Amino acid sequence: MGNFFEQFWGTKLRTAAKAFEKNGFDVTICQTVDEARLQILQIIEQEQPKVVSMGDSMSLRKTGVLKDVMAMEGIRFINGFDKEKTREERMALRREALMCDLFMTGVNAMTAKGQLVWLDMIGNRIAPVAFGPKTVVIVVGRNKLTPNLDEAMSRIRSYAAPLNAIKHTDFKTPCQTTATCHDCSSPDRICNSWLIMEKSFPVKRVKLILVDEDLGL
């Protein structure tokens, strides 16, 4: 039975990769998160960044690459999610990350047409993806693949966003109790800013790593 799944997802990811490459993305398909980790390290070696940062991502964390990067000599890692720092300090670091050399994160959904789709609370993840860092590395699991933009946005609102709100136990939103989006006006609302990336500009600025595993929300 495993061969059927391998054939299904292999075909899906190869087709998606062609669409993303046509849209200017630099695409690599990895079979596992371990392969994805090695691919990120290879990109870092090629790009030789002096300052690296990230937008929080379960998929990125799953690769285990963050410990590698933090330990690298000659690289300053800006960690805007250091729990030992105050919220004000973390926010200042996230603003600083807008101009790092290499930025790593995940994505909420992708389409078979070669589009990347995010929905953010404060925008610290999508802002550097859109502009600033010379190189952006995106790690995304096969479960984020949708047929089109409407399906991608629906996936985020109906699945990823409520799960993300539930994960943050200190937030208070309606979807935490109903697991359903209410398009709320809560002060803790996490669905504030969309980014739809149709193409990578400049070409190959965005390094997209497609992983043949289910990752993140």
Question: Dihedral angle at the C-alpha atoms of 135, 75, 80, 138, nearest 10 degrees?
Answer: 30
> What are the CA-CA distances from residue 136 to residues 1, 32, 106, 132, 212 (Å)?
36, 20, 10, 9, 20
Specify whether the CB–CB gap between 78 and 93 falls below 8 A: yes
pTM: 0.95
Chain segment 51-93, per-residue pLDDT in tens = 999 999 999 999 999 999 999 999 999 999 999 999 999 999 9
Mean pLDDT in the chain?
96
Specify whether the CB–CB gap between 132 and 103 falls below 8 A: yes
In this structure, CATH architecture of domain 2-145+194-211: 3-Layer(aba) Sandwich (3.40)
What is the Rg, in whole angstroms, of the alpha carbon atoms belonging to the chain?
17
Specify whether the CB–CB gap between 116 and 107 falls below 8 A: yes
Specify whether the CB–CB gap between 31 and 214 falls below 8 A: no
- pLDDT on residue 2: 59
- pLDDT on residue 209: 98
1, pLDDT greater than 80? no
Look at residue 118 and give its three-state secondary structure: strand
What average pLDDT does the segment 110-117 reach? 98
Alpha helices in the chain (DSSP H): 2-22, 33-47, 58-63, 65-70, 87-96, 126-130, 149-155, 161-167, 174-178
How far is the C-alpha of 200 from the C-alpha of 156, rounded, in Å? Answer: 22
- pLDDT on residue 18: 98
How far is the C-alpha of 179 from the C-alpha of 177, rounded, in Å? Answer: 6
Segment (H or E) for 141: strand 135-141
3, pLDDT greater than 90? no
Chain segment 118-147, per-residue pLDDT in tens = 999 999 999 999 999 999 999 999 999 999
Chain segment 19-50, per-residue pLDDT in tens = 999 999 999 999 999 999 999 999 999 999 99
196, pLDDT greater than 70? yes
- pLDDT on residue 217: 94
How far is the C-alpha of 28 from the C-alpha of 37, rounded, in Å? Answer: 12
Residue type, 92: A
